[in-house]
Amino acid sequence: MSELETHGTVVIGAGPGGYVAAIRAAELGQQVTVIEQSDTLGGICLNVGCVPSKALISAGERLRQTKDSSVYGITAGDVSFDFTSLQDWKQHKVVDRMTRGVAGLLKKHGVEVVRGSATLVSDTELHVMPAGPQQFMSVSDPRRIAFTDLIIATGSRPVEIPGFMFGGRVLDSTGALNLPEVPSEFVVIGGGYIGTELAGAYADFGSHVTILEGTEQILPNFEPDLVKVVEKRLRAKGVDILTGVRARRADQHDDGVHVSYEKKGGQEQTIAADYCMITVGRTPNSDALGLEATSVEVDKHGLIKVDERGFTGVDHIYAVGDVTMGPALAHMAFMEGKTAAGAIAGRPDANEYFSVPAVCFADPEIATVGMTAAQAEQNGLTVTTSKFPFAGNARAVSLDEAEGFVRLVSTIDTGTLVGAQIVGPGASDLISELSVAVNCQLNVEDVALTIHPHPTLGEPIQEAADIALGYPTHL
């Protein structure tokens, strides 16, 4: 057994929460070590999640627009498409570039990166077993590390369901992002964020996609009128959406897979596909950390219990990101990582935001922040909603992307913004303005009196605020 090493702040996991926590901790003067078991930095998000999925989605949209630009008087003729080249671009020009950037940032801030698998053996010590090539390891033997402070940022992994063991033609989201070919028939089990996004992307590439969703609508965390706009576009692409069904099993064969599902009433049907993807949720990576050897508490789902600083209640141990309770969002992990690093440095940092924006990169995009009208009323607020359609926005019309709307939720007595929902072009970018407004508790007059440039996709926000005040202009 190697000698016990003494380190300052140790971060387990180099995903969005971990690497950002490490950078902030180093900026605040701490000696920082990051332990990462995979051969690349950046976690699921950069390597096999948020970033590569958006690359495929963008490529699919570009292909669809290239094939059909007749509305602009453009005829492209025969359009060729090389999926292998696309996958190469996604990996080497997007993912590798971003992960190299993370490595460069950690090096710039003097963060030591140890490649290996960390296991806690007490509230003050962990062991690191080497994993794979040793390009990040200073020694090849197992290491014993005593830490002054610890931030756990180990993230999450896809949930497996009975009858659909990952492997072969039964894929998790990672497998779906790295397919060697565009499937002719593609089944997506689970119509949440990931399932809906990738279903739309592969439909753009030419796949016939079937979504099997157990609830009564895809994207069950969003309001029905938002989802209806996305469903309309998916069906126009030829996607079959089956809701209220239960996936039963996958039977693989040499060149495909048969997916059986049960409809209401118990009737079972089968779909023949090239591949099927399972996207029914994620589970925290807390089970192999050795937490049972510590005083850190986890709930029945394996989520680490923390306070508003990320503090676990155990001296000098913090946790951030998907391994804790709350929305499993990369941008949430970014903030939590910064907060934990600040708390270790003695700063009064805390995660005291009012609301976190959520985005689904569907076609068109959906983005929300704060409360819906129903949620506001459940919290004892008397609210009103004001909605402006993209069909009344010159920029959206000129882009031929005029479906969807912006909706504001504000209190009747003071006009305070407590929520907002967008479905339409550029929703993922537009929601940031409304996130500021909601979290700063601005009112609709503040937004209405803020001049938005013309013609832009941001104008519907100002227009919706005008409607809330009772003075609609372009409606």
Just list the catalytic residues.
454
Place of tokens 């300052």: 8
In 10 A of CB 193, how many CB atoms? 23
CB atoms within 10 A of CB 24: 23
Contact indicator for 206, 213 with CB cutoff of 8 Å: no
Angle, CA of 99, 103 and 106, to the nearest 5°: 135
**Residue 63 and residue 142 in contact, taking contact as beta carbons nearer than 8 Å:** no
Going by C-alpha positions, the residue among 198, 175, 187, 210 that lies closest to residue 60 is: 198
For residue 204, give both structure tokens: 């753009």
Token pair recorded at residue 86? 């696309």
Which 8-state DSSP code applies to residue 432? H
5 contact partners, CB below 8 Å, separation of at least 6? 143, 144, 145, 146
Q: How far apart are CA 181 and CA 202, in angstroms?
A: 10
Half-sphere exposure of 42 (CA within 13 A, CB side): 21
Cα–Cα distance for residue pair 187/277, rounded to 1 Å: 6
Residue type present at position 176: A
